[in-house]
Structure 1
Amino acid sequence: MNTDSIDAQAVPEHPVRLQGAAIAYGGQRVLDDISLDIAPGERVAVIGPSGAGKTTLFRLIAGLVKPAAGCALTLGEDTRRLRGRRLARLRRELGFLYQQDNLIPQLRVVHNVLMGRLGHWSLARALLSLLWPQQIERARAALARVELADKLWALPDELSGGQQQRVAVARLIVQQPRLVLADEPVSALDLRLGREIIGLLCQLAQRDGVTLVVNLHTLDLLQGHFDRVIALRGGRLFWQGEPAQITQHLLRELYGAEYRALHLDEIEVQE
């Protein structure tokens, strides 16, 4: 099948569709022959050892890198052909969450939350919002959903790490994206706070009909949150299935030398 000829308009039902996609840096492929579909509203976790290509996969989906081979469709758009307004529209409909919350420390929480509306506002309104926040009630409602309504006028450095990441989730809520890509969003938090943030992201996906893809370093957070797990190894799709299907044998094969160092033998899965 010639994946270069895929018609993006023929498959808008898949927020993510990759067919034979590959990414190369310096002539070396870091992703190779990746084919997968992610359905609307699906909650997907991506796992794998260091250097497996997880972050590169997210960059491919986001259109930040172009496939060297195959095809990548995101929200029905062929990312190789995006320019101008079509690219801006895709950026507006994509939400991002990273290990670092990317809050602007000089701006109050209300301003940081309303950054999620920038793709929907004119330049004049965005600049005005820096002087006097626009749509304050929208920001307050989003913060209430993450239990931080009383922090509307706080500065980021007045918040704990977990609270700062909650503000970043509130920013996603006001953005109203169709697809959220979260790249190791809880690796800087302890397990309890990590569970809270993953829970909030999954609530966002369920309540607002958002498709969620999360790059997870902490495998204890898989159970009870995700519909599917995608495992990468050496830049290739190694395995995919439901979280309940993961076994210790699979983890040993997937992580190799990292298996003991990551204490994966302590995770409660099938042997």
Structure 2
Amino acid sequence: MESNPVFTLEKASKSFGNNFALQGLSLTIHHGERVAIIGPSGAGKTTLFRLLCGVLHPDSGTVNLFNHDTKTLGTSTLRRLRKEVGVLYQSDNLIPQLRVVHNVLMGNLGRWALPKALWSLLWPQELSCAREALRQVELEEKLWAMPTELSGGQQQRVALARLLVQRPKVVLADEPVSQLDVRLGREIIQLLSRMAQEQGNTLLVNLHTLELLEGHFERVIALKEGSVFWEGKPDALDEPLLKALYGKEYTGLYAH
């Protein structure tokens, strides 16, 4: 694993009105790591991800992306760096009016010139690239389908195929399985983990379903009330720690 950090946060804080989402958060994510972010509702997990990709800036402290302070970056530089960061949201964010092939090829928008991107809406460009990405998520036969014809799990796999086409250096997955059942959620996490390992990506996943931690992550960072509550290897988590972290939210779903 390379020692160069992808993200470095130093005493980063972010508030919305009188409510602190993050308070003095310091952490480092290195190239090639697979990290799960856990914590109760309102812990600051989504705000953290928005800081990491430069959508938000900290009110105090610093957030560095590839050794660049996001607060000091110009628009063009930040746009260039964001091309290296792929984001998977709770909902798949597919465009329902466009066929699967077009949604997948949107992973190329950071590299294509505008004329090529517009032409691709009429006549899909680099079709073999889209087909191969869909093959890797076992949806090659859905190349010309509309998103509305797919199940929730299939739509998330299309979003993963879009990331495969984008080939980002970093993948941020913000509770990507919260709307899926455990079986489908496990499939999506397995695909994300496999993609990260095969492409050498850095992977950060916000997870609420604790049983999906097993076997896919090297490190867990637990947030509570906007601060790091605990971090370590997944197998070091135990019931007393999780109860202290989640309080009344803890359901005992995670078991060794």
Q: What interval of TM-score do these two structures reach, taking the shorter chain for normalisation?
A: over 0.9
1:101 correspondence with 2:99: no
1:21 correspondence with 2:12: yes
Structure 1 contact 46–231 (Cα < 8 Å) conserved: yes
Structure 1 contact 231–238 (Cα < 8 Å) conserved: yes
1:184 correspondence with 2:171: no
1:267 correspondence with 2:254: yes
1:61 correspondence with 2:52: yes
Shift of 1:53: 0.5
Aligned to 2:209: 218
Shift of 1:136: 0.5
Structure 2 contact 170–202 (Cα < 8 Å) conserved: yes
Where 2:172 maps in the other structure, the secondary structure is strand
TM-score by length of 2: 0.97
Pairs within 5 Å for 1:29-108:
29-108=20-99
Aligned letter for 2:162?
R
Aligned to 1:128: 119
State how far apart, in whole Å, the 2-side matches of 1:258 and 1:120 are: 43
Aligned letter for 2:136?
R
Aligned to 2:165: 174
1:243 correspondence with 2:234: yes
Shift of 1:172: 0.2
State how far apart, in whole Å, the 1-side matches of 2:104 and 2:67 are: 28
Structure 1 contact 109–167 (Cα < 8 Å) conserved: yes
State how far apart, in whole Å, the 2-side matches of 1:28 and 1:187 are: 25
Structure 1 contact 20–71 (Cα < 8 Å) conserved: yes
Report percent identity of matched pairs.
59
Offset from partner CA, 1:153-182 (integer Å, 9 cap, x none)? 111111111111000000000001011110
Aligned to 1:228: 219
Structure 1 contact 103–156 (Cα < 8 Å) conserved: yes
State how far apart, in whole Å, the 1-side matches of 2:149 and 2:20 are: 43
Aligned letter for 2:245?
L
Aligned letter for 1:267?
Y
Aligned to 1:3: none
What do you get for the CA RMSD once the two structures are aligned?
A: 1.3
Structure 2 contact 210–253 (Cα < 8 Å) conserved: no
State how far apart, in whole Å, the 1-side matches of 2:26 and 2:85 are: 21
Where 1:55 maps in the other structure, the secondary structure is helix
Aligned to 2:188: 197
TM-score by length of 1: 0.92
Aligned letter for 1:16?
F
State how far apart, in whole Å, the 1-side matches of 2:3 and 2:74 are: 19
Shift of 1:75: 2.1
